[in-house]
């Protein structure tokens, strides 16, 4: 027996159709809002969540084919946990379309304009979720055991701060001569070379920024790359100095050979072995001048006088050592000054704490990154008027501590900042200007009086940041 069809209930008016559609839209909007709220909450909860693996940061600028080859090589040769983060400097070569096609295999950020290699690297550092971080030039081609051996070296000693590989395309102590006919021969050579061997690890004074591996702990203590050092080799040289000042060593792992594609125009008349990424000569010279101005007063002996040198640690309690590690690069900043991060709040720095300033404060404020700011613990709030009064007291020429908070100049041209009973060498004019010390009281000090004042840690310039980090 044929079943009788059930009559379909029909809406009799257009108003009924509209009412139904509106209800569906309301349910959709309600679900969208709830989903957004849950997504925001999940993002907040996972912001500080890290994974046991390596964040590989790849800056790029109109190099989509090179980026493709770099990522494919990583995927082919890397078995350890990792994430790839591409930060592009506003390219017009279709790289965003390519990255979208990778469907979540790669995280990326497209900057509206070029921030240079160091600027893009810093954005990648901010995005990184790994417990170790690897800065990688997109011209690098991975090889067998490349990351494995770099990590073995890094994790062999907590005093090792940064590790780099060797390549025929790198310079200095990271150069390894190799003459092969094709990539297959290169990979065969790498297979033979890349067998973990601690006798091939050598401490060096600088590494190339084309491939730098370090722990998240080092990023938190040293901070971001200095964007004033826009070009190689100054970007990595600066970062290496800052790491070494905190007692870290730099190591070249010669059991980790990688391939580095040459610059497409490496026969350019301005090319030299020291320039690993080509840039207009005026940018290169600007980076060189900035670097020299920043470190003009540096002496190798400073690396033996850092807060973490064995001779100093022997005189420190465990609590003092822990506090020093937490402060990181802030140990080389002056005290009793006002700083600000990304937010509107200004902070009075006093020892290991930052005290939020209440009220209107309109004097010199030093802008720092959030990484820098977080090193100081948050203390009690302080009224702006008290900050003014305190600063006046510190700079009072009649202060019984005659040289306190003054820049003392010596006959040999060096300058020292007297702070809390210690003399702290100001490494450069850039350091004095960066912290506003050129506005402090200056005086000449006899050599014998200077020698009688205990020595503190030197004062280095704050890094230059051209973006909000």
Higher pLDDT, 67 or 14: 67
pLDDT above 90 (res 7): no
Degrees (nearest 5) of the Cα angle 242, 247, 253? 85
User: CB–CB of 218/308 below 8 Å?
Assistant: no
For residues 290 and 163, state if they share a domain: yes
The residues near 271 (Cβ < 8 Å, ≥ 6 apart) are 263, 265, 278
Domain stops at, among 241, 272, 294: 294
For residues 98 and 231, state if they share a domain: yes
Element housing 214 (H / E): strand 211-215
User: CB–CB of 173/202 below 8 Å?
Assistant: yes
Query: Six-digit token pair at 341?
Result: 């991060």
In a domain, 68, yes or no: yes
For residues 61 and 202, state if they share a domain: yes
For residues 148 and 287, state if they share a domain: yes
Residue 383 φ/ψ, nearest 5 degrees: -75, 145
Residue 315: name the closest of 454, 459, 426, 449 by CA.
Answer: 454
User: CB–CB of 180/189 below 8 Å?
Assistant: yes
For residues 285 and 423, state if they share a domain: no
pLDDT tens-digit profile of 47-84?
Answer: 578 999 999 999 999 999 999 999 999 999 999 999 99
For residues 260 and 401, state if they share a domain: no
Cα dihedral 55→259→227→326 (10° resolution): 40
pLDDT (0 to 100) of residue 268: 36
Burial string for 80-118 (b: 16+ CB within 10 Å, else e) reads eebbbbbbbbebeeebeebbeeeeeebbbeebeeebbbb
To the nearest whole percent, how much of the chain has pLDDT over 90? Answer: 62
For residues 287 and 407, state if they share a domain: no
pLDDT tens-digit profile of 404-452?
Answer: 778 888 877 788 998 888 999 999 999 999 999 877 667 788 888 888 8
In a domain, 349, yes or no: no
The residues near 85 (Cβ < 8 Å, ≥ 6 apart) are 55, 56, 57, 58, 106, 107, 108, 109, 124, 127, 128
User: CB–CB of 260/232 below 8 Å?
Assistant: no
For residues 87 and 232, state if they share a domain: yes
pLDDT (0 to 100) of residue 271: 34
- DSSP state, residue 331: G
pLDDT above 60 (res 156): yes
User: CB–CB of 189/167 below 8 Å?
Assistant: no
pLDDT above 90 (res 98): yes
pLDDT (0 to 100) of residue 270: 32
The residues near 326 (Cβ < 8 Å, ≥ 6 apart) are 352, 375
The residues near 52 (Cβ < 8 Å, ≥ 6 apart) are 81, 130, 131
**What CATH number corresponds to the domain at position 170?**
3.90.550.10
pLDDT (0 to 100) of residue 440: 65
pLDDT above 90 (res 256): yes
In a domain, 238, yes or no: yes
For residues 82 and 194, state if they share a domain: yes
In whole angstroms, what separates CA 161 from the centre of its chain? Answer: 13
For residues 286 and 402, state if they share a domain: no
Q: Structural domain of residue 146, as residue ranges?
A: 51-264+280-294
**What CATH number corresponds to the domain at position 419?**
3.30.2390
For residues 416 and 284, state if they share a domain: no
In a domain, 156, yes or no: yes
Read off the pLDDT band of 21 (50, 70, 90): low
pLDDT (0 to 100) of residue 158: 95
pLDDT tens-digit profile of 380-406?
Answer: 999 999 999 988 876 665 544 566 778
Residue 233: is the preceding peptide bond cis (ω within 30°)? Answer: yes
Weakest mean pLDDT among 52-56, 280-284, 338-342: 280-284
Burial string for 369-380 (b: 16+ CB within 10 Å, else e) reads bebbbbbbeebe
Give the integer Cα–Cα distance in Å for 431 and 438: 9
In a domain, 301, yes or no: no
Over range 85-112, report the average pLDDT: 94
Q: How many domains does the chain have?
A: 2
pLDDT (0 to 100) of residue 445: 80
Per DSSP, the three-state class of 16 is helix
User: CB–CB of 395/405 below 8 Å?
Assistant: yes
Residue 266: name the closest of 282, 280, 277, 253 by CA.
Answer: 277
For residues 254 and 105, state if they share a domain: yes
Higher pLDDT, 312 or 141: 141
Higher pLDDT, 124 or 278: 124
Please give the mean pLDDT across all residues of the chain.
86
User: CB–CB of 209/236 below 8 Å?
Assistant: yes
pLDDT tens-digit profile of 308-327?
Answer: 655 555 556 666 677 788 89
pLDDT (0 to 100) of residue 295: 95
Give the integer Cα–Cα distance in Å for 404 and 391: 12
In a domain, 391, yes or no: no
In a domain, 44, yes or no: no
pLDDT above 80 (res 236): yes
Residue 341: name the closest of 224, 420, 433, 431 by CA.
Answer: 224
In a domain, 369, yes or no: no
């Amino acid at each position: 027996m044929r079943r009788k069809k059930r009559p379909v209930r029909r809406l009799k008016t257009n108003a009924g159709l509209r009412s139904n559609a509106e209800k569906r839209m309301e349910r959709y909007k309600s679900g969208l809002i709830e989903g957004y709220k849950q997504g925001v909450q999940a993002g907040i909860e996972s912001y500080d969540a890290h994974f046991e693996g390596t964040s590989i940061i790849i800056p790029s600028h109109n190099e989509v084919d090179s980026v493709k080859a770099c990522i494919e090589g990583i995927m082919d040769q890397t078995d350890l946990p990792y994430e790839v983060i591409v930060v592009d400097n506003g390219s017009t070569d279709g790289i965003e379309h390519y990255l979208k096609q990778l469907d979540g295999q790669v995280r990326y950020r497209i900057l509206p304009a070029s921030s240079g290699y160091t600027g893009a690297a810093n954005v990648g550092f901010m995005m990184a979720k790994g417990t170790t971080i690897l800065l990688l030039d997109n011209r690098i081609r991975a090889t067998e055991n490349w990351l494995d051996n770099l990590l073995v070296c890094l994790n062999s000693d907590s005093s090792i701060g940064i590790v780099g590989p060797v390549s025929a395309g790198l310079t200095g102590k990271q150069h390894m001569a190799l003459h092969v006919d094709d990539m297959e021969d290169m990979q065969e050579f790498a297979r033979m070379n890349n067998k973990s061997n601690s006798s091939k690890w050598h401490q060096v004074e600088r590494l190339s920024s084309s491939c730098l591996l370090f722990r998240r702990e080092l990023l938190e203590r040293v901070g971001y790359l200095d964007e004033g050092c826009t070009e190689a080799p100054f970007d990595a040289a600066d970062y290496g100095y800052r790491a070494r000042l905190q007692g870290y060593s730099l190591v070249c792992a010669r059991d980790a050979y990688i391939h580095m594609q040459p610059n497409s125009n490496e026969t350019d008349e301005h090319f030299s072995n020291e320039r690993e990424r080509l840039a207009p000569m005026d940018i290169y010279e600007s980076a060189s001048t900035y670097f020299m101005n920043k470190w003009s007063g540096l002496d190798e002996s400073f690396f033996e006088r850092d807060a973490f040198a064995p001779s100093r640690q022997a005189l420190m309690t465990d609590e003092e050592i822990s506090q020093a590690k937490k402060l990181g690069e802030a140990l080389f900043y002056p005290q009793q000054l006002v700083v600000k991060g990304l937010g509107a709040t200004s902070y009075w720095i006093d020892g290991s704490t930052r005290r939020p300033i209440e009220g209107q404060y309109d004097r010199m404020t030093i802008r720092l990154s959030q990484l820098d700011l977080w090193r100081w613990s948050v203390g009690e709030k302080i009224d702006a008027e008290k900050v003014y009064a305190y600063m006046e007291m510190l700079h009072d020429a009649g202060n019984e501590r005659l040289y306190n908070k003054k820049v003392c100049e010596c006959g040999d041209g060096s300058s020292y900042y007297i702070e809390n009973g210690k003399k702290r060498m100001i490494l450069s004019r850039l350091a004095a200007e960066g912290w506003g010390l050129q506005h402090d009281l200056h005086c000449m000090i006899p050599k014998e009086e200077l020698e009688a004042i205990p020595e503190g840690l030197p004062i280095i310039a704050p890094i230059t940041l051209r973006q909000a980090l």
